[in-house]
Amino acid sequence: MSIQKASTLLGTAFLLALIFSACTQKKAPQSKTDLIIFHAGSLSVPFKEIAKNFMKTHPSANVLLESAGSRTCARKISDLKKPCDIMASADYSVIDNLLIPEHADWNIKFASNEMTLVYHKSSKMSDQITADNWYKILQDKEVAFGRSDPNADPCGYRAVITMKLAEKHYRKEGLGKRLLKKDARYIRPKETDLLALLESNTIDYIFLYRSVAQQHGLKFLILPDEINLKMPEHSDFYSTATIDISGKKPGTAITKKGAPMVYGITIPKNAPQRELAIKFVAFVLEKEKGMIIMEKNGQPSMVPSVSNTFDKIPQVLQQFAIAQKSKS
């Protein structure tokens, strides 16, 4: 074989090897865009499923979920200046009071819930508890119950309001103070932190959202509508119970009145991925997408609801809200 022919064959073989290598080499994974979401602990289960479904239709997105008490979530944005694309609160008023107008422009109400008393089969006196005697059982010295911190978590101040309303509903003078004074050592930053105490039999009962109880397969007592903060028709009675919680600035306070439970969602002004955030919020609020997951997890839809920030909501999201009528 001539030197020239051998050289040609070697060159051809090298070229074929390069082509084969190019065909078989795996494509480098496409970089993904992080979408940072701060949300209430009670949204952990539905938002995990919503995020999973969203990423199927938006493969370039990497949804990062970070749960905490709703007020703690807001403080991360307002005080700690942490990057955040979406904030979802268990109480829409947390967004109104702590983020608007400095850190957010708008707020959409999207789901509801109710307060319950959660327990398990080993909870003391659980075979006797009813909607008529629960407050007596909680006062028993052998029984321990937990609740979350009112300054960190809406479930915490809702628990306080529920106890104060119980005093009025059952006409038991001093009941609210007695319940609030008992078992204060079992107050935790957010309601989901209390589940470990329940599972370890450290406590017997928790003031907790019905949705969280359902999601975790826990037993729960349905409280009367007059105190469970579920029914809009009882708004006037709910508002007769109040609690003072920390305000925007250190040393200031906000007086919270009892009100039906309403969740809220917004996109902070400095959201790193605003366009992707808008797509995720739309996904959450669409009836056959996010809201069907919320409903399945015990958090009924309130979409569309009246918003007093309607004009500032991104146009593509305005379909999920209703403009508040101006007072004539």
Q: What is the CATH number of the domain that holds 74?
A: 3.40.190.10
Residue bearing the bigger pLDDT, 328 or 140: 140
Segment 19-33 shows an average pLDDT of 60
7: in domain:
no
Q: Which of 188, 219, 246 is where one domain is finished?
A: 246
CA distance 47 to 52: 8
Give yes or no: residues 155 and 220 share one domain.
yes
The string of pLDDT tens digits covering residues 116-175 is 999 999 999 999 999 999 999 999 999 999 999 999 999 999 999 999 999 999 999 999
pLDDT-derived band at 193 (thresholds 50, 70, 90) equals: confident
Give yes or no: residues 177 and 219 share one domain.
yes
What pLDDT is attached to residue 87?
98
Residue bearing the bigger pLDDT, 25 or 324: 324
Q: Which residues make Cβ contacts (< 8 Å) with residue 177, sequence separation at least 6?
A: none
66: containing domain: 33-112+262-323
Dihedral angle computed from the Cα positions of residues 55, 93, 147 and 236, in that order, rounded to the nearest 10 degrees: -130
Lowest mean pLDDT among 187-191, 199-203, 229-233: 187-191
252: in domain:
no
Give yes or no: residues 268 and 301 share one domain.
yes
What pLDDT is attached to residue 328?
53
Look at residue 74 and give its three-state secondary structure: helix
Q: What value does the mean pLDDT of the chain take? A: 91
Question: Count of domains in the chain?
Answer: 2
Segment 274-290 shows an average pLDDT of 98
What pLDDT is attached to residue 39?
98
Give yes or no: residues 267 and 172 share one domain.
no
177: in domain:
yes
User: Do 179 and 135 touch, CB atoms closer than 8 A?
Assistant: yes
Give yes or no: residues 287 and 195 share one domain.
no
Percent of the chain with pLDDT over 90: 85
The string of pLDDT tens digits covering residues 223-250 is 999 999 999 899 999 999 999 999 988 8
- pLDDT over 70 at 265, yes or no: yes
pLDDT-derived band at 192 (thresholds 50, 70, 90) equals: confident
Q: Tokens 């109400």 — which residue?
A: 109
What pLDDT is attached to residue 4?
53
318: in domain:
yes
What pLDDT is attached to residue 6?
47
Give yes or no: residues 124 and 211 share one domain.
yes
Q: Which of 246, 272, 287 is where one domain is finished?
A: 246
Cα dihedral sign, 103-105-109-111: negative
User: Do 306 and 326 touch, CB atoms closer than 8 A?
Assistant: no
Give yes or no: residues 287 and 216 share one domain.
no
Give yes or no: residues 163 and 41 share one domain.
no
Give yes or no: residues 272 and 236 share one domain.
no
218: in domain:
yes
Segment 248-268 shows an average pLDDT of 94
